[in-house]
Amino acid sequence: MNKRTLIQSAIALALAASFSSAALAQDKPLKIGVTAGPHAQIFEQVKKIAEKDGLKIQVVEFSDYIQPNAALAAGDLDANSYQHKPFLDQQVKDRGYKIVNVGYTVNFPIGLYSKKVKSLAELKEGARFGIPNDPTNGGRVLLVLQDKGLIKLKPDAGLKATPLDVVENPKKLKFVELDAAQLPRSLDDLDASAVNTNYALSAGLNPKDAIAQEAAKSPYVNLLAVREQDKDKPWVAKLVKAYHSEEIRKFVQAEFKGAVLAGF
């Protein structure tokens, strides 16, 4: 065997190894991080549709809003589906994540719940009101309360308003900031609490029983996120296509009956 033949054989073996590695990589499921509840339920349906397009998916559930982005940034996940853009923007700013939005998913109008009163008007002076302790969701709730006429915020407070931005508070509401996942349990101790719909449904709360609810049109539509380096990869387009299918739209409408809205 001459030198040229040896080189050609080496190249052929290298290419074969490369193709074999690529095939193995494609056989490895994509890990998609979600929070428990509707996001997990929806992605189990997306998983079935994506598989028809050659994508294998492993759904990984989380119980908080912080770990799914940390896991994605670290490479332990390929994508996640659980957050809205203001939250992602804040995480990118605070933690320097190279994570981007590749497609919108669903909207969860946040609800205000109470076991002690049946309307916001019944809240007494000094009532203790639970809100999420992360800047974006906490600000979101304060904007709802302003919209309902309970408080007034500084004109420049924006989407990241905090209790410090409240300039008028006729009922002297006392804001109790808690992790979003803990808010359903706070209803036994507080006069009222804002609860994100995914946590409300997981806790057995019916959004129809909320004493007030955020308007359907808001900046808080949820999204699919991936690492910036992956955004143009073919599997990302396939994943978005599966989520944006008519089957998923119909599933969301039928399963959640208006508590969750398709945002695509």
pLDDT at 118 over 90: yes
* Residue 134 and residue 206 in one domain: yes
Q: Which residue has better confidence, 259 or 45?
A: 45
Q: For residue 108, what pLDDT is reported?
A: 87
pLDDT at 95 over 50: yes
Q: Give the whole-angstrom CA distance, residue 49 versus residue 247.
A: 8
Taking the CA atoms of residue 94, residue 88, residue 73 and residue 75 in that order, the dihedral angle to the nearest 10 degrees is: 170
* Residue 33 and residue 22 in one domain: yes
Pairing state between β 261-262 and 57-62: unpaired
**210-220 pLDDT tens trace:** 999 987 677 88
* Residue 88 and residue 37 in one domain: yes
Taking the CA atoms of residue 184, residue 188, residue 190 and residue 192 in that order, the dihedral angle to the nearest 10 degrees is: 60
* Residue 162 and residue 229 in one domain: no
The answer to whether 190 and 128 have CB atoms below 8 angstroms apart is: yes
pLDDT at 84 over 70: yes
* Residue 118 and residue 192 in one domain: yes
The answer to whether 152 and 171 have CB atoms below 8 angstroms apart is: no
Strands (E), the chain: 30-35, 57-62, 79-84, 99-104, 106-107, 111-113, 128-132, 152-153, 166-168, 174-178, 192-195, 212-213, 222-227, 261-262
pTM (global) more than 0.85: no
* Residue 31 and residue 104 in one domain: yes
Q: For residue 4, what pLDDT is reported?
A: 52
* Residue 255 and residue 130 in one domain: no
Alpha-carbon 38 to chain mean position: 10
Please give the tally of structural domains in the chain: 2
* Residue 86 and residue 175 in one domain: no
* Residue 99 and residue 226 in one domain: yes
For residue 61, give the amino acid letter: E
- Mean pLDDT value of segment 163-176: 98
**49-82 pLDDT tens trace:** 999 999 999 999 999 999 999 999 999 999 999 9
Q: For residue 215, what pLDDT is reported?
A: 78
Judged by average pLDDT, the poorest of 2-6, 77-81, 85-89 is 2-6
pLDDT at 15 over 80: no
* Residue 189 and residue 227 in one domain: no
Q: Give the whole-angstrom CA distance, residue 259 versus residue 108.
A: 7
CATH, residue 165: 3.40.190.10
pLDDT at 249 over 90: yes
Q: Give the whole-angstrom CA distance, residue 186 versus residue 102.
A: 34
Q: For residue 16, what pLDDT is reported?
A: 45
* Residue 7 and residue 104 in one domain: yes
pLDDT at 26 over 90: no
- Mean pLDDT value of segment 225-235: 98
Q: Which domain holds residue 93?
A: 3-108+220-262
Q: Give the whole-angstrom CA distance, residue 15 versus residue 18.
A: 5
Q: For residue 217, what pLDDT is reported?
A: 73
* Residue 22 and residue 60 in one domain: yes
Domain boundary among 174, 192, 213: 213
Alpha-carbon 207 to chain mean position: 18
Angstrom CA distances, 160 to 115, 164, 198, stand at 28, 11, 21
Domain boundary among 213, 228, 243: 213
Q: For residue 219, what pLDDT is reported?
A: 84
Task: Give the pLDDT band (50/70/90) at residue 176.
Answer: very high
Task: Give the pLDDT band (50/70/90) at residue 21.
Answer: very low
Q: Give the whole-angstrom CA distance, residue 137 versus residue 87.
A: 7
Q: For residue 2, what pLDDT is reported?
A: 52
Q: For residue 20, what pLDDT is reported?
A: 37
